[in-house]
Amino acid sequence: MRFLIAAVLLLFALLGAAFAALNGGSVHYDFLLAQPDLPKGVTLLAVLVLGWLLGGLSAWLGRGLSRVGGRNRRRDGNGPA
C-alpha cells in the first residue's frame, strides 16, 4: 500500500515538474502592492498546494471547534457523559 502511494506521489511530482518545464513562460500579476512576473506552471502548482493546505486547515479547525462544543455540553450536563 505504501509503495503504491509513493508511486502515485512520484508520478504526480513528475507530472508537476513536466508541467512546470512546459509552461516556463512568465505571467504578469498585479497584486496592487506588487506587480511581479511569475512562471506560469510554478504559480499554478503553488496555488494547488495552497488550496490543499487550506482544505486541511479548515478540517482541523472544524474538528477543534466540535471538540470544544462537546466538552462545554458535557460540563453543562446536557450531553452524554
29 makes contact with other proteins (CB under 8 A): no
Q: Which three cell numbers stand for residue 49?
A: 498546494
Shortest reach from residue 79's CB to other proteins, in Å: 12
Which of 24, 36, 51, 69 lies at the binding interface for other proteins (CB under 8 A)?
Answer: 51
Specify whether the backbone of 4 is left (phi greater than 0), alpha (psi in -120 to 50) or beta.
alpha
Shortest reach from residue 56's CB to other proteins, in Å: 4
Shortest reach from residue 27's CB to other proteins, in Å: 13
Which of 49, 68, 69, 72 lies at the binding interface for other proteins (CB under 8 A)?
Answer: 49
Report how far residue 50's alpha carbon sits from residue 64's, in angstroms, rounded to the nearest whole number.
21
Residue corresponding to grid cell 462545554: 72
74 makes contact with other proteins (CB under 8 A): yes
Contact present, 54 and 47 (Cβ < 8 Å) = no
